[in-house]
Amino acid sequence: MCEGSPPRKGMMQPHTDNNIFLLWHAASPGRLERYLRAEDGREFTAVLAARGVPMALHAETGGARTARESAAGVPSLVRLSGPIEEIASRARKEHGAVFVISDDLATVSRLSSVEGCLPVHVREGGRPNLDHSRHLEVASPNALLAYFAGPAPRALLALLTQQPGDWRAGIEERNATFRQHIEAAGGVWIFGAHSNGKIVYEECLRTGMKVLGFVDNAAAKQAMELYGLPVVGPSALDPARAGVILASGNYSLDIYHQLSKMGFQHIQNLSEFFFLSRCPVQPEMDFHADLWENRIRYHALYLLMADEKSRTVLETILRYRQSFDIRLPASVCDRQDPQWFDRDLFRADDDHVFVDGGAFDGDTALRFIRLNGGRYRSIHLFEPDPGIVRQAADNLRGYERVTIHTLGLSDKKGTLFFSQTGRMDGHLTDTDGIRVEIDTIDNVIEERITFLKMDIEGAEESALAGSAEHIRRDSPLLAIAAYHRADDLWNLPRRIGGIHPHYAFYLRHYTQISHDTVLYGLPVNVRTT
């Protein structure tokens, strides 16, 4: 092996499980030696050695000890010298992704511009940090163990080794074939004569796509009309001719399989449609840009996840955002636990004070009452739509200690406009809709909160800021919708961590599309077993 060249493992293609090269950078050889000799260092290097991850040491010129001497008692490391940027670039060409672990921030900063490189700054204390978009910051190299304990997460490695155009190419190729077919067929059919179907119809009108009608499995809807167009069952269509957009959330993959078995070949799922049409009210259009711009933050988020299930959910959601492969979210869809009430995180308690931000018609509050055995200290619902509030009041009539606040949630008191859809996707706006009052949870609620849920169509970040005092003081269980904005997955835990540093974060997913990913925050003094 020539000094200055990374150990060769053979040419590897990106996205395999072992396409990682790890380079130790010793700005302070003594500190690195202490780590490698310590139990944590031996554990970490043993895990990497078992995985077959090649490692090397880059020591600053003038270092007194060789890498082999520094790493006594652990698998030997090859010592490399020369410009570290050049070493990282060569390793990237051979291995796909390069991790550089250093205690020198200046070196880490320089490496942030090297393609395919994940610079890791080791500092004293704390957890993986979401504040940095150019490098990963950890308290110890052992924080990376989650990365190497099992198969390396393919979606995260793709964020290092592929450009967004690579992800988009496959989607656009599928779309070109789909568009050619529906043009030849004279228009498209929308599967789902409900809220999502109406959104898709409006988007088709906006983008100039002709809609022939709606398809639905519900017999009661068939033979009816929607927007003056027929609603039919799938058997009424010619599978060889019809092109169908799936406007379903909970059962997208199930419907896809149903149509495929019937012979339909031209099917586009909901997220693909939103992404390609650049639907202004859906986040799919921003997914790719966010993934690339914040790729380091997603690596940090992966390391922040508190259990393997959460890491699997995150990995799968990221792969879905890269590809919009409809099979992916279905593979992590939680069909056992009700949304907002994961069995590992929610505990029934007679003393619960449940706050439901984005209460809609009270359905979640009713679910909470049932799962909590009908006992609680109090319930607070926040919903800005007066019509929906009346429905919630009717649904919760007879339940004591339930307060419904006709308010939107934010980080300050004031007024905004509310887009009144009559559906669950109504949202606050700055420009049009009905004028509604907004306020903060800190202003409105005085008693201790034990469980805070938010599903408020993209206003979660500001509402969390308006709940900061309660979060700091009460340490409630948090269940926050993390899919309305492209950056919700990493930005919401970042914001929560800035309010209260002692939360463990979990992810769960509840549909067969990109919607209904929930971020749970559990105070670290609460056990989940």
DSSP 185-220: HTSEEEE-SSHHHHHHHHHHHHHT--EEEEE-S-TT
pLDDT given at position 529: 45
Percent of the chain past pLDDT 70, that is, above it, reads 89
pLDDT given at position 425: 52
pLDDT over threshold 80, residue 433: no
Kindly report which listed range (64-73, 110-119, 313-322) carries the lowest average pLDDT score.
64-73
How far apart CA 230 and CA 259 sit, in angstroms, is 19
Calculate the CA 6 to chain-centre distance. 34
CATH 3.40.50.1000 fits 20-152, yes or no: yes
CATH tag, 333-523: 3.40.50.150
pLDDT over threshold 90, residue 428: no
* E-strand stretches of 377-527: 378-382, 402-405, 408-409, 414-419, 427-429, 434-439, 451-454, 477-481, 503-509, 517-523
How far apart CA 387 and CA 375 sit, in angstroms, is 28
Q: Which of 18, 524, 51, 519 is nearest to 314 (CA)?
A: 519
How far apart CA 520 and CA 323 sit, in angstroms, is 25
447-466 pLDDT, tens digit each: 999 999 999 989 999 999 99
37-81 pLDDT, tens digit each: 788 888 888 888 888 888 888 876 444 344 444 444 445 577 788
Torsion angle, CA of 71/107/22/489, rounded to 10 degrees? 130
9-43 pLDDT, tens digit each: 332 233 344 588 999 887 766 777 778 778 888 88
| Residue 260 CB coordination number (10 Å) | 12
Same fold, 20-152 and 333-523: yes
How far apart CA 360 and CA 391 sit, in angstroms, is 8
Superfamily of domain 165-285 in the CATH hierarchy:
NAD(P)-binding Rossmann-like Domain (3.40.50.720)
> In this structure, are strands 451-454 and 477-481 parallel, antiparallel, or unpaired?
parallel
In terms of C-beta density within 10 A (0-12 exposed, 13-18 middle, 19 or more buried), how is residue 146 classed? middle
Q: Which of 456, 249, 436 is nearest to 333 (CA)?
A: 249
pTM of the complete model: 0.88
Q: Any idea where the domains of the chain sit in the sequence?
A: 20-152, 165-285, 333-523
Which of residues 507 and 386 earns the better pLDDT score? 507
What letter represents residue 361's amino acid?
D
121: enclosing H helix or E strand = strand 117-122
Average pLDDT score over the chain: 87
pLDDT given at position 223: 83
End-to-end CA distance of the chain: 50
282: left (phi over 0), alpha (psi -120 to 50) or beta: beta
